[in-house]
Amino acid sequence: MISNRDVQWWISEAHRYPESAPTLIEKLAERLAELDAENERLRGEVIGLRRGRPAGAADGSEVSALQSRVETLQRILNGQASTEPAVVMFSDRLEMVRMPLSQVRMRLGSTRSQGALLPTASLGVRCLLMVRPHEDLLLLTSRGRLISVCLHDIPFLIEGDDWPSAGGESRLAGGERVAAAVAAARSPRFWTLVTRQGFVVQLLGAHVEKRSGQDDPVVRSQHYHDEPVAILDGDRGDLFLITRWGKAIGFPQRAIAGQGCSGLTVEPDDGVVAALPLPADAEVLAITAGGYVMRRDSAGFRGRHKPGGQGRSFIQAYDVLAAVPYAARGKLLFLTYSGKFIAVASAGVPLQGRLGKGTQLCDLSGDPAVAVTFVPGALL
């Protein structure tokens, strides 16, 4: 019940990431077994509802719901959607939807009549991530709680363009919101957590797995009215932070104090919007809601050997939305206020040696971006 194209994709992923091959095989086998069993169970229920009740006695809405679920599972089993990378979107209230990159590609630049998301959906997006099939997600809430989410539990955007009805809200307390999300095939030895006011702390991966889903927060900032904005792999390289007003700083992750510390001094009306781990020679793209992108070498922002300080201006902007490591092959995927997807090649961003506004890859002044993510290689 799976096509040769699907199998070939998993084989190519195993070749590209040999250390993850056992995980890829295990995830594929488990998920196919689950979907096949669920498919057969629901088909049995549909048949029972149709044949086992007197004419007119079946609940039409119940039958329709079961049929819709069966059709969805059948598409997942037979189609490409179960094995290709997907874009996952989260709302503040833990409503979730995923869209295979093939669907995203068809929607690029579309107006509402051509298949853009409803504005009510795009405005609700808190996080936009590119996720591979063997990866699951770890969410961090505004109260510092952790929630694990299996990728295959996130519904596809198949019928309609608005958020699907979601039960995620029941997992959040009153006033609690999704603040950050990360995709990973397996837990690193350490996770690094960053708050809006620049507080940073590292936690053991095993500790994070144990605390996921519990009511107690895993991070408590030393700042008043602070909340998390990022969770990332704490094993690799230096930590790079950037604020909405374009201030940036970098320092070794191993220098973070055991109980956490201030990584960056942030002005009262500013706040950290992105954090990423960087190798020694990395370049960084800072992306604004208006479609400007600044590419600079991170070396000039990593002169410190310990966290803390005012940082330096990376870009002249007050609407920095995200930052990603630069890669020549890949595209930046924007989701705008009106619900459009726009993809722009990162290779078109020149390296800058001095402070400026960056390069305007697309004019979003009348339709600003609400979220952006990086899609590597030729996937999009």
Which one-letter amino acid corresponds to residue 197? Q
Per-residue model confidence (pLDDT) at position 126:
80
314 touches 358 (CB < 8 A) = no
> Which segment, 100-114, 207-221, 264-278, is predicted with the most confidence on average?
264-278
Query: What is the structure's pLDDT at 78?
Result: 52
Of the candidate ranges 116-125, 182-191, 233-242, the one whose mean pLDDT is the lowest: 116-125
Segment 101-144, tens digit of pLDDT:
988 888 887 665 555 666 656 667 888 999 998 899 999 999 99
Mean pLDDT of 198-209: 91
Res. 76 pLDDT band, cuts 50 70 90: low
pLDDT of residue 274: 96
**Between 218 and 350, whose confidence is greater?**
350
Provide the pLDDT confidence category of residue 270 given band limits of 50, 70 and 90. Answer: very high
* H or E element at residue 16: helix 4-16
Amino acid identity of residue 178, one-letter, is V
Max Cα distance, the chain (Å): 77
Residues 6+ apart with CB under 8 A from 275: 192, 194, 200, 229, 230, 232, 239, 240, 241, 242
User: Taking the complete model, does pTM exceed 0.85, yes or no?
Assistant: no
Q: How confident is the model at residue 94 (pLDDT cuts 50, 70, 90)?
A: confident
Q: What is the mean pLDDT of the chain?
A: 82
Is residue 104 within 8 A of residue 333, CB to CB? The reply is: yes
pLDDT value for 129: 94
- Closest by Cα among 345, 331, 206, 202 to 277: 202
